[in-house]
C-alpha cells in the first residue's frame, strides 16, 4: 500500500462521516416569523409534511391568508398603493421583520467494524490505523430564506465550518424563486414558477435536505470509466453526480402535496474534474489537457411526477392536509415520477492534426444521461419510497491511426454505464421517534474495473454495492435531534490469490450516531 | 287587592334574597396575568346549566380567547377561522387523564360544539400546531370570574354561607381556601408554579 493510498484512505475515513452526511435544514426563521413550531411543517426535521410542502411550493408562505399568520410584520419597501404608480416608481415589496436567519450544528460519533484494519495488506507498507470509534464535529451552517413579497422567494444556505475548521464550507443553494409567474400569462395558478441561481435539481427525493445521516449512494455515483487492456476501454471521467447543485434556471409547476408536478432545468454542465489520479487505470490527460467544465453546452434536467391523494372524501383529497378523525394529517398518497438528465462531458487530450505532425488539443463532448423512475407511498405514519437510476456515458475513445505518434480524433467505445437506486421505509412510531430501514444499491462495471486503484474505504470494490441501513431518529425537542444508523455492507477485499479468492477480507460496517440542533 | 298583595310579597322576597347574597373579592398574586377564581360547589348542591354557548376561536394559530371560564354543563363552540387545518383536543380535565377527548378536524368557518360536564381546567391543544394553547376552566358553580391583569377579582351574588374558593392560573398549582360569605368577604391567594 503506497503512501498516497494510505493518506487517501485515512483522509476518506476521517471525513467520510462528515462529508458523506447530507446537509439538512429546518427553518427556525419561519418559526420566529410565524410563532409556530417546527412540526407545523416538518414530520422529523427536515422531512416535510404535506403542509410544509405546500408552504415551500407557495414561496415560503402560508398557502392562503399568509398575512394573518405572521406574528412579526414584514417591513414595507414601499406602500402597497405604489403598485398603481408603476412603472413610474419602484414596485413595492417587503423584507422579513426579523432577519430570516437560521443556524445549524451537528456532530457525529462513529463505530467501525473490528476487521476494518484488514485493509492493511501483509507484506506491504503499513496502512493507516482505522480507529474503532471516532468523534467528529460536523457542520456549522447558516441559512436564510423567506419571501420578498410579490411572490418572490429566496433561499441561501452556506456551511460556515465543516469538521471543526473555520470557513472551509461552501455555498449550498442560493436562489431567487419567482412563484406563480403563470399569472402573468393567464395560465392556471402555480403552473409556472421560475427559479434562478444555484440550487439542487428537483430530485424525486432531496439529498441536500435529507434527514438520513448517510446520503443515498446512487446520488453520489460519478461515472469514472476504466481503461484496462483486459476490458473494453472506457475513456470516461465524468464527475457529475445528481447530488451536486446546478447553476442556472428552473421552470417548474404544480404542487408537491397533490396532483402533477414538473420541473425543467437548464444548468451549467457540471463535469469538471481534475486529472484522474485517484483512478490510475484512467490515463492522466496528456500535454496538460484535462477534463474541465465546458459551459458552452448547458445540461438539461427534466422531471415529471403525479401524486394521487387517495382520500375517499373529495374535499379532503384536494386540501393541503387530509381531515383525519383526530386531526389533520398527511394524505394517504401514491406518487409516481420519472426524471431525465442530459449533459455532455468534455474531454480534451493532447493529439495531432490529421497531418500527424502538428500538435493540437483534441476535444470531444461526450454525451451522457441519467434516467430513472421513482415512487412514494404514504399511509398514516408509514412512508415507503424508492428510486431507480440508470447512468450512461457514450465513451468516446482517442483514436491513434497506425504509424501516428498520437491520437488525431475520437471513435466510439463501449459505453460506461451504471445503475442502482434505493428503497427506504420510514415509520413514525411516535411523533418524536422515526424508525428507518433503507437499502442502497449501485452496480457499476467501471467501479469494478477500477477496484485495484480504489481508495474509497467506504465503497466496496465489487461491481455491485449493497447497503442495508436501519436507523432511528429521536426528536429531543422539535429542533434538537438524535439520530442513529447502522450501515451493513457486504464483505470485500482488495487482493485476491492466484485462485481468485479474496484475501484480507473485511467489512466496512459502520454505526453512526448524530446530534444536531437548529435555532 | 290580590295583585297588590302579590307585589308586596315579591318585593319582600327580593329584599330578603338581596340581604343574603354577598361578594368575594381579593387578589391573586405570585403570578402574572389573568387568573381564574371560582367557588366550589357545596355538598349536594347543583346548579342549572346555562344556555349560553361561548365560542373559542382558532385564529392566527392561536386559541382566542386564551382562557374561557364556564359553568359545568356549558356547551362551548369551537370555531376555526384559519385557512389552515386545525383540531382541538385536551389530554385531561382537571388533571383526570381519563377525560381526554379529541374533537377531530373541521374546515374554516365551521364550529364544533362540546358540552363540559366535569369541573376543572381543560388544557386545549392542537395536534398539528403544538405551540397553540388555550384553557377552558370549568367551574362547578355559576360563581366564578377572571382576574384583571393585576390579579384583582370580585365574584358577586353569592348566597351567604360557607364555601371553598379556588384560584387557578396557567402553569401554577391551584390553591383553595374556605371562605364564609356574609356580605363582602375577602380571599387573597398567592400562587406558585
CA distance A342 to A201: 13
Q: So what's the architecture of B48-140 in CATH?
A: Sandwich (2.60)
Q: Does B171 touch chain A (CB under 8 A)?
A: no
Chain B positions touching A38 (Cβ under 8 A) are none
Does residue B125 register a pLDDT over 60? yes
Mean local confidence (pLDDT), B90-117: 94
Q: How far apart are the first and last CA of chain A?
A: 45
Percent of chain A with pLDDT over 70: 81
Chain A positions touching B128 (Cβ under 8 A) are 39-40, 51, 321, 327-329
CATH superfamily of B25-40+149-193: Carboxypeptidase-like, regulatory domain (2.60.40.1120)
Does residue A414 register a pLDDT over 90? no
Position A294 scores a pLDDT of 61
- How far off is chain A from B151, nearest CA to CA, in Å? 27
Q: What is the mean pLDDT of chain B?
A: 90
Name beta bridge partners: A495: A503
pLDDT, tens only, A9-19: 433 444 444 44
Does residue A417 register a pLDDT over 60? yes
Position A451 scores a pLDDT of 57
Q: Does A33 touch chain B (CB under 8 A)?
A: no
Q: Which residue in A36, A64, A328 is closest to B83 by CB distance? A: A64
Q: Which residue in B59, B85, B102 is closest to A319 by CB distance? A: B85
Show the DSSP H helices in A39-144 as ranges: 50-57
Name beta bridge partners: B102: B89
What are A439's three cell numbers? 437499502
Q: Do domains B25-40+149-193 and B48-140 have the same CATH topology?
A: yes
Position A365 scores a pLDDT of 84
Q: Does B114 touch chain A (CB under 8 A)?
A: no
Q: How far apart are the first and last CA of chain B?
A: 63
CA distance A414 to A401: 19
What are A245's three cell numbers? 447543485
Chain A positions touching B84 (Cβ under 8 A) are 51, 62-64, 69, 320
The secondary element (H helix, E strand) that includes residue A465 is strand A464-477
pTM of the model: 0.86
pLDDT, tens only, A216-271: 999 988 887 765 556 566 777 788 889 888 899 999 999 999 999 999 999 987 66
Best of A38, A327, A431 to disrupt the B interface (most B CBs within 10 Å) is A327
Domains and CATH numbers, chain A: 3-518 (2.40.160.10)
Position B9 scores a pLDDT of 54
Which chain A residue has the Cα nearest residue B85? Answer: A328
Pick from A331-335, B1-5, B151-155, B178-182: least confident: B1-5
3-state secondary structure of B19: helix
Position A463 scores a pLDDT of 55
Q: Which residue in B59, B102, B107 is closest to A327 by CB distance? A: B102
Other residues' Cβ atoms within 10 Å of the Cβ of residue B145: 18
B128:A39 CB<8 A? yes
- How far off is chain A from B125, nearest CA to CA, in Å? 11
B102:A319 CB<8 A? no
Instruction: Give the CB-side neighbour count of residue A276, counting CA atoms within 13 A.
Output: 30
Question: What ipTM was predicted for this assembly?
Answer: 0.81
CA distance A53 to A70: 18
Does residue A338 register a pLDDT over 90? yes
CB A363 within 8 A of CB A348: yes
**Contacting residues for A492 by C-beta, under 8 A, at least 6 apart:** A460, A461, A462, A502, A505, A506, A507, A508
CA distance A20 to A37: 29
* Spacing of C-alpha A517 from chain mean position: 21
Does residue A343 register a pLDDT over 80? yes
Position A366 scores a pLDDT of 86
pLDDT, tens only, A371-397: 999 999 999 999 999 999 999 998 888
CA angle A257, A211, B89 (to 5 degrees): 60
Position A27 scores a pLDDT of 73
Q: Is residue B3 left, alpha or beta, with left meaning phi > 0 and alpha meaning psi from -120 to 50?
A: alpha
Pick from A27-36, A242-251, A344-353, B161-170: least confident: A344-353
Percent of chain B with pLDDT over 90: 82
Does residue A118 register a pLDDT over 70? no
A62:B84 CB<8 A? yes
Handedness of CA A393, A304, A174, A169 (dihedral sign): negative
Q: Where are the domains of chain B?
A: 25-40+149-193, 48-140
Q: Does A321 touch chain B (CB under 8 A)?
A: yes
Q: Does A64 touch chain B (CB under 8 A)?
A: yes
A327:B126 CB<8 A? yes
3-state secondary structure of A421: strand
Does residue A277 register a pLDDT over 60? no
The secondary element (H helix, E strand) that includes residue B18 is helix B2-20
Amino acid at each position: 500500500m503506497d503512501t498516497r493510498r494510505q493518506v487517501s484512505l485515512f483522509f476518506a475515513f476521517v471525513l467520510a462521516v462528515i462529508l458523506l452526511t447530507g446537509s439538512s435544514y429546518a427553518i427556525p426563521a419561519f418559526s420566529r416569523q410565524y410563532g409556530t413550531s417546527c412540526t407545523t411543517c416538518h414530520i422529523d426535521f427536515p422531512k416535510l409534511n404535506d403542509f410544509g410542502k405546500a408552504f415551500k411550493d407557495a414561496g415560503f408562505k402560508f398557502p392562503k391568508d399568509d398575512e394573518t399568520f405572521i406574528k412579526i410584520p414584514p417591513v414595507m419597501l414601499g406602500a402597497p398603493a405604489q403598485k398603481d404608480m408603476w412603472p413610474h416608481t419602484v414596485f413595492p415589496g417587503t423584507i422579513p421583520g426579523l432577519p430570516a436567519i437560521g443556524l445549524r450544528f451537528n456532530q457525529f460519533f462513529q463505530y467501525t467494524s473490528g476487521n476494518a484494519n484488514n485493509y492493511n495488506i501483509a507484506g506491504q507498507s503499513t496502512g493507516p490505523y482505522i480507529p474503532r470509534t471516532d468523534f467528529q464535529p460536523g457542520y456549522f451552517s447558516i441559512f436564510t430564506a423567506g419571501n420578498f413579497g410579490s411572490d418572490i422567494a429566496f433561499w441561501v444556505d452556506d456551511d460556515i465550518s465543516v469538521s471543526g475548521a473555520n470557513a472551509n464550507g461552501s455555498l449550498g443553494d442560493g436562489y431567487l424563486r419567482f412563484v406563480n409567474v403563470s399569472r402573468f400569462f393567464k395560465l392556471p395558478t402555480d403552473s409556472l414558477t421560475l427559479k434562478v441561481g444555484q440550487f439542487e435539481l428537483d430530485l424525486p427525493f432531496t439529498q441536500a435536505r435529507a434527514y438520513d445521516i448517510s446520503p443515498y449512494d446512487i446520488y453520489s455515483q460519478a461515472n469514472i470509466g476504466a481503461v484496462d487492456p483486459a476490458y473494453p476501454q472506457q475513456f470516461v471521467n465524468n464527475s457529475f453526480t445528481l447530488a451536486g447543485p446546478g447553476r442556472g434556471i428552473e421552470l417548474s409547476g404544480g404542487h408537491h402535496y397533490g396532483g402533477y408536478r414538473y420541473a425543467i432545468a437548464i444548468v451549467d454542465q457540471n463535469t469538471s474534474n481534475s486529472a484522474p489520479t485517484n483512478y490510475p487505470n484512467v490515463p492522466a490527460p496528456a500535454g496538460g489537457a484535462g477534463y474541465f467544465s465546458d459551459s458552452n453546452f448547458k445540461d438539461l434536467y427534466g422531471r415529471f411526477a403525479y401524486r394521487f391523494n387517495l382520500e375517499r372524501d373529495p374535499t379532503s383529497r384536494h386540501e393541503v392536509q387530509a381531515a383525519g378523525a383526530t386531526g389533520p394529517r398527511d394524505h394517504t398518497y401514491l406518487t409516481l415520477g420519472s426524471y431525465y438528465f442530459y449533459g455532455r462531458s468534455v474531454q480534451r487530450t493532447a493529439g495531432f492534426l490529421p497531418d500527424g505532425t502538428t500538435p493540437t488539443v483534441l476535444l470531444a463532448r461526450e454525451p451522457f444521461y441519467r434516467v430513472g423512475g421513482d415512487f412514494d407511498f404514504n399511509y398514516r405514519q408509514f412512508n415507503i419510497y424508492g428510486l431507480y437510476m440508470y447512468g450512461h456515458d457514450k465513451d468516446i475513445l482517442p483514436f491513434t491511426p497506425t504509424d501516428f505518434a498520437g491520437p488525431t480524433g475520437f471513435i466510439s467505445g463501449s459505453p460506461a454505464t451504471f445503475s442502482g437506486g434505493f428503497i427506504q421505509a420510514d415509520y413514525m412510531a411516535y411523533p418524536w421517534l422515526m424508525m428507518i430501514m433503507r437499502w442502497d444499491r449501485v452496480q457499476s462495471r467501471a467501479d469494478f474495473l477500477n477496484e485495484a486503484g480504489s481508495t474509497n474505504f467506504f465503497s466496496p470494490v465489487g461491481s455491485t454495492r449493497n447497503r442495508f441501513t436501519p436507523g432511528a431518529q429521536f426528536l429531543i425537542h422539535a429542533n434538537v435531534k438524535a439520530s442513529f444508523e447502522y450501515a451493513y455492507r457486504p464483505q470485500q477485499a482488495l487482493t485476491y490469490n492466484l485462485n481468485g479468492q479474496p484475501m484480507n477480507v473485511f467489512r466496512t460496517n459502520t454505526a453512526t450516531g448524530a446530534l444536531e440542533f437548529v435555532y | 287587592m290580590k295583585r297588590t298583595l302579590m307585589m308586596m310579597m315579591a318585593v319582600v322576597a327580593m329584599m330578603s334574597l338581596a340581604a343574603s347574597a354577598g361578594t368575594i373579592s381579593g387578589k391573586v398574586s405570585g403570578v402574572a396575568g389573568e387568573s381564574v377564581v371560582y367557588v366550589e360547589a357545596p355538598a349536594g348542591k347543583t346548579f342549572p346549566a346555562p344556555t349560553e354557548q361561548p365560542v373559542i376561536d382558532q385564529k392566527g394559530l392561536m386559541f382566542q380567547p386564551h382562557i374561557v371560564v364556564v359553568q359545568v354543563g356549558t356547551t362551548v363552540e369551537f370555531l376555526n377561522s384559519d385557512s389552515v387545518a386545525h383540531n382541538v383536543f385536551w389530554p385531561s380535565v382537571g388533571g383526570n387523564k381519563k377525560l381526554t377527548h379529541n374533537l377531530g378536524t373541521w374546515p374554516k368557518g365551521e364550529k364544533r360544539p362540546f358540552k363540559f360536564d366535569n369541573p376543572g381546567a381543560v388544557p386545549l391543544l392542537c395536534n398539528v400546531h403544538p405551540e397553540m394553547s388555550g384553557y377552558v376552566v370549568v367551574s362547578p358553580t355559576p360563581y366564578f370570574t377572571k382576574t384583571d391583569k393585576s390579579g384583582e377579582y370580585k365574584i358577586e351574588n353569592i348566597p351567604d354561607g360557607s364555601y371553598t374558593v379556588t384560584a387557578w392560573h396557567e402553569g401554577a398549582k391551584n390553591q383553595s381556601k374556605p371562605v364564609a360569605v356574609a356580605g363582602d368577604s375577602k380571599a387573597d391567594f398567592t400562587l406558585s408554579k
